[in-house]
Structure 1
Amino acid sequence: MTGSRAVLITGVNSSGGLSSGTGRATALRLHRAGWPVYATGRDLRGLKDLADEGITTLQVDVTDEESMVAAVERITEDHGAVGVLVNNAAYSLNGTIGETPMEQVRRQFETNFFGLSRMTQLVLPGMREQRSGRIIMMSSIFGLFATPGRGYYQATKHALEAISDSLRLEVKPWDIKVSIIEPSPILGSFVPTTVGDLGLATDSDLYADFWERFVVWHGAYREVDKPKGRGRTAVRSGKVAETIEKAITDPNPRIRYRLGLPTHLLKPQRAIFGDRAWEVFVTKFFPQP
């Protein structure tokens, strides 16, 4: 790619934090491949090992305008512009649609959607000036359909899919390329071990049994050396990082990169099933109230 090669990655949090580990894996992979990487997160203490390896770390909270502006200005001073933006920052809000407080819903959208939207706006002037750039949007298999218990999180990923398609056409005249990463469930990503881990804001017992089943179901995706059952269809953060590298190095990157068998099967399966049969499949495969 022409112009700046500086890579800005959001949501590179410490192990066990809000991010799924893809940010860290991507930062390490690109740094070792010779890219100037700026790994950002809310708490720099959790990024010390990356700094020790030579990666530049910056404190950025995607809900804080000042920190985002400062990061873009720093990279612009160092390299003329942000060359690659990896919009990775996100967390998964657990809760039913009717019971989740709107304050938490707004916080979810501030991080997962408005934050990445604003960061994208901040890097675009520099990319337009150099007439090149790559923007990577971290979506999910749950940006393609929805299940009970995570509807608001899934809504942010659906929204990400929509603005990515609009943005791609809007920035095409400046040779700025936008790719969406759609991984199947990632091992160790947002995986609760107890109901208490879910961070539910209500004491209502309306869905108590459902949340117990919800935790058990997600157990298949905990980080293990040899996953069994559904866990075998999950992907690892290293594979996601490898795909991101492809998206920023390919002269003609894909619009969507689908990782894992479930994501590849989803679109044709849903088209063949139709809405009613698809919903039956969702109720059979995923925990239900």
Structure 2
Amino acid sequence: MSPSRAVLITGVNSSGGLSSGTGRATALRLHRAGHPVYATGRDLEGLEDLAAEGITTLRVDVTDEASMAAAVKRVTEDHGAVGVLVNNAAYSLNGTIGETPVEQVRRQFETNFFGLARMTQLVLPGMREQRSGRIVMMSSIFGLFATPGRGYYQATKHALEAISDSLRLEVAPWDIKVAVIEPSPILGSFVPTTVGDLGLSASSSDSDLYADFWQRFVDWHGAYREVEHPTGRGRTSVRSGQVAKVVERAITDRKPRIRYRVGIPVRLLGPQRAIFGDRAWEVFVKRFFPQP
């Protein structure tokens, strides 16, 4: 029997954020290419348009193991195993390292890191049994470096990069392949309009200590807010459809790359950091990104 081609995608939500845009675009692209797609998210009502397209939608919260296990069970019953897992669920926590309440930090890691780690564990037995599988990890340009104001989110992406490298070697004997997607900034994703949109905790001193910084933070991200006619830095951003196209390559290439870097910024900044060295790189970060 041929290995399963069924694709399970996490974080396909109805609106807002990286997970909704890329997850939705990926689900549609792979479905139209003939893959059996299971689009999952916390809000099934927000996925009704995907269901109308013929895509199977399931409620999955990656902080709820029962919902994850149920989704894997459903795909396994339908196709024998999950053939492809796209670990896409994520959100961006804004806040400084010293002032963000630790309970918010834990929630960030539960979604962006522990959730994808557990989902990966749940699909591996089926992939090993069929001796085939693809696991796609959705990272970010900020899996390569960090900036002020979003350090905990960036830490989850650094962690994702690390476990992907370990996992790739661990599952190679079963012909399970692991690829990391590193998009440049995505137009319309995680883009605040006002300081109030940042979700800063009222119980922290962030808004008092860093009031000017947070306003600069919002203003700086304005370049990525205009989706139709981006200007300035926004012109170097990528769109969700571009990322979805690369995800399709990662699951169909006979020998997938270890990392797929999407867009000009992520292709340039990695090598630049190695060339610059730590001190010069930090000068660049201070000049390019908003600072306290």
TM range (shorter): over 0.9
Q: Which residue of 1 aligns with 2:78?
A: 78
1:51 aligns with 2:54: no
Distance in 2 between residues matched to 1:111 and 1:18, nearest whole Å: 13
Equivalent residue pairs, number = 288
Which residue in the other structure is 1:22 paired with? 22
d(CA) in 1 for partners of 2:131, 2:195: 49
Give 3-state SS (helix, strand or coil) of 2:209's partner.
Answer: coil
Q: Say whether residues 1:194 and 2:197 are aligned partners.
A: no
Q: Which residue of 1 aligns with 2:131?
A: 131
Q: 1:159, 1:224 → 2: CA distance? A: 30
1:150 maps to 150
Give 1:214-253 correspondences, 5 Å limit: 214-253=217-256
- CA distance in 2 between counterparts of 1:177 and 1:280 reads 37
What percent of counterpart residues are identical?
A: 86
Partner SS for 1:135: strand
Distance 1:223 1:81 in 2: 41
Residue 28 of structure 1 aligns with an amino acid whose one-letter code is L
Q: Given residue 183 of structure 1, which amino acid in structure 2 is its aligned partner?
A: P
Candidates 209, 212, 218, aligned match of 2:212: 209
Decide which moves more: 203-212 or 177-186: 203-212
Q: Which residue of 1 aligns with 2:95?
A: 95
Equivalent residue for 2:163?
163
**Contact 1:62/1:116, CA 8 A, preserved across alignment:** yes
Name the residue aligned to 1:284: 287
Query: What TM-score comes out, normalization by structure 2 length?
Result: 0.97
User: Contact (CA 8 Å) 2:91, 2:112: kept in 1 or not?
Assistant: yes
Distance 1:178 1:196 in 2: 38
* CA distances 1:135-172 after superposition (whole Å, capped 9, x unpaired): 00000000000000000000000000000000000000
- Unmatched tracts of structure 1, length 5 or more: none
Counterpart residue type for residue 200 of structure 2: L
> What amino acid does structure 1 have at the position aligned with 2:238?
V
Q: What is the TM-score normalised by the length of structure 1?
A: 0.98
Partner of 1:266: 269
- Cα deviation, 1:172-223, whole Å, max 9, x if unaligned, reads 0000000000000000110000000000004531000000000000000114
**Residue 120 of structure 2: aligned partner:** 120
The DSSP-based 3-state class of the residue aligned with 1:21 is helix
The 3 A distance-change label for structure 1 pair 20 and 142 is farther
Tell me what 1:4 maps to.
4
- Mind listing any 5+ residue stretches in structure 2 that lack a counterpart? none
The runs of at least 4 aligned residues of structure 1 exceeding 3 Å deviation read none
Residue type at the aligned position of 1:272: I
**CA contact 2:17–2:91 (8 Å) conserved in 1:** no
Q: Which amino acid aligns with 1:55?
A: I
d(CA) in 1 for partners of 2:211, 2:142? 23
Q: How far does residue 17 in structure 1 lie from its aligned partner after superposition?
A: 5.5
